[in-house]
Amino acid sequence: MSDVTTALPAPLTSLTEEELLFRDNIRQFAEDKVRPLAKEMDEKAVFDKGLIEQFFQLGLMGIEIPEAFGGGAGKFFDAILAVEEMSRVDASAGVLIDVHNTLVINALLRWATEEQKKHYLPRLAADTVGAYALSEAGSGSDAFALQTRAELKGSDYVLNGRKLWITNGKEAGLFITFATVDPAAGYKGITAFLIEKDFPGFTVGKKEDKLGIRASSTCELILEDCRVPKSHVLGEVGKGYKIAIETLNEGRIGIGAQMLGVARGAWEYASRYAQERKQFGKTLSEFQGIQFQIAQMATDIEAARLLVYNAARMKDAGIPFVKEAAMGKLFSSQVAERVTSLAIEIYGGYGFSKDYPVEKYWRDAKIGKIYEGTSNMQLATIAKLAFSGK
């Protein structure tokens, strides 16, 4: 029998000294620079441009990019820590960093040619936000039902179609965009393209007015005879489905980290408020009912952290992690919804008011069960792998 202790990494919440320093630096930055802007950005539904510039300066937009391309040469786990800490103060900041790092940069690191890496990775580390354009109006959970068409004409592909629900749409300069070169081939016709914002025929359309993560831009993309050079195919023609599946598996760990951060942020406010608010001559924290709620919330958060961290460590170790990623996203999104809802109840009437912070956490939590694979899709993945014995 093989030694299971060497086959799988321990599901650690403990961090190395280097990881602790990295995390603490981001936590301090989030407290000092992001938290003061979070409420205003939410109300205006606009992400502060100066804050994005600071993200680049701090190295948050090139965590895994090799030093040769201007990045930090960090681990996937480092990116997960960054997403969690940012989301603790603002989920919109968390998802901007998440999509850029866990989807866009990870896809380029794995699938781009050397020329594409030399051209794009330094820009993504320095000043260019990335976006990932897969979804369409009729293509959500059934991601490969997309209708955007790419036709080869000479040395260019000509793309026509519309993308929907694209995170970072307003801020991005580079879009990994999926289209089919052959509708009759089904998923085997899907191809990934690297499209720059100023390509002729490419337009960023309507920005969605959302319930939560309001500062995060979620936009429609319009492609009308958009010409894309053949050299901008990411990976191989017809292999876009593989890029999409494998990248989203990694991205789900990022969303798990986002939801973990959201739950932590709400719990911290609720715990502090329970120790300050008095009723019947006692603080709320002296009532056993409130104590049990706070304790259950803390337990759920710790369990979510174990799942998310473990999946990220497995990814870094090169161990199959698809089931663990699905579990981490599924559970952490459930925890975020429960914890943020309870936080509002602990605040009572104040929690229902926009003058207090917990209602924003609750609004931001809802998206966790929806994007980058709904909860039902995560359950389907977990069940499939469980029944297969893998």
Question: 68 and 90 share a domain?
Answer: yes
For 153-183, what is each residue's pLDDT tens digit? 999 999 999 999 999 999 999 999 999 999 9
CATH assignment at residue 374: 1.20.140.10
Average pLDDT over residues 196-213: 98
Return the active site residues. Answer: 372
Residue 95 sits in a domain whose CATH number is 1.10.540.10
Cβ contact 90:38 at 8 Å = yes
> Does residue 372 share a domain with residue 319?
yes
Q: What is the DSSP string of 182-245?
A: -GGGGGGGEEEEEEETTSTTEEEEEEP--SS-TTS-EEEEEEEEEEEEGGGEES-TT-HHHHHH
The answer to whether the CB of 214 falls within 8 A of the CB of 224 is no
- The more confident residue out of 145 and 273 is 273
Number of structural domains found in the chain:
3
- Residue 195's DSSP bridge partners are 175
Amino acid identity at 152? L
pLDDT of 4 reads 35
Residue 293, CA atoms < 13 Å, CB-side half-sphere:
23
Q: Among 95, 113, 129, which residue terminates a domain? A: 129
Does one domain contain both 199 and 314? no
Same domain, 279 and 357: yes
- Last residue of one domain, picked from the residues 221, 238, 255: 238
106 in the same domain as 215: no
Dump pLDDT digits (tens) for 14-39. Answer: 899 999 999 999 999 999 999 999 99
- Examine the fold and report which residue of 96, 129, 162 is the final residue of a domain before the chain moves on: 129
Residues 60 and 189 both lie in one domain: no
352/355 Cα distance (integer angstroms): 9
What proportion of the chain, given as a percentage, has pLDDT over 90? Answer: 94
pLDDT of residue 12 exceeding 60: no
- Residue 365, both tokens: 């939590």
- Domain extent, residue 375, equals 242-388
HSE (side-chain half, CA atoms, 13 Å) at 47: 28
Residues 257 and 353 in one domain: yes
What lies within 8 Å, CB to CB, of 278 at 6+ separation is 284
pLDDT in tens, 43-54: 999 999 999 999
What is the Rg, in whole angstroms, of the alpha carbon atoms belonging to the chain? 21
377, 254: one domain: yes
* pLDDT one-digit tens code per residue, 231-265: 999 999 999 999 999 999 999 999 999 999 999 99
Predicted pLDDT at 390: 61
Are 257 and 381 in the same domain? yes
Average pLDDT, the chain: 95
State the pLDDT at residue 14: 82
DSSP 8-state class, residue 179: E
Residue 7 — pLDDT band, cuts 50, 70, 90?
A: very low
Q: What is the CATH number of the domain that holds 225?
A: 2.40.110.10
Report how far apart, in Å, the C-alpha atoms of 48 and of each of 35, 171, 179, 197, 211 are.
12, 10, 31, 19, 19
The pLDDT, as a whole number, for residue 92 is: 98
CA distance 187 to 212: 32
Q: Does one domain contain both 31 and 125?
A: yes
Q: Are residues 227 and 270 in the same domain?
A: no
pLDDT of residue 330: 98
Q: Which of 140 and 148 is assigned the larger pLDDT? A: 148
- Taking 50 as the threshold, does the pLDDT of residue 8 lie above it? no
Q: Are residues 120 and 185 in the same domain?
A: no
Name beta bridge partners: 194.
176
Q: What is the number of residues in the chain?
A: 390
Angle between helices 76-89 and 91-98 in degrees, nearest 10: 160
Write the DSSP symbol of residue 8: S
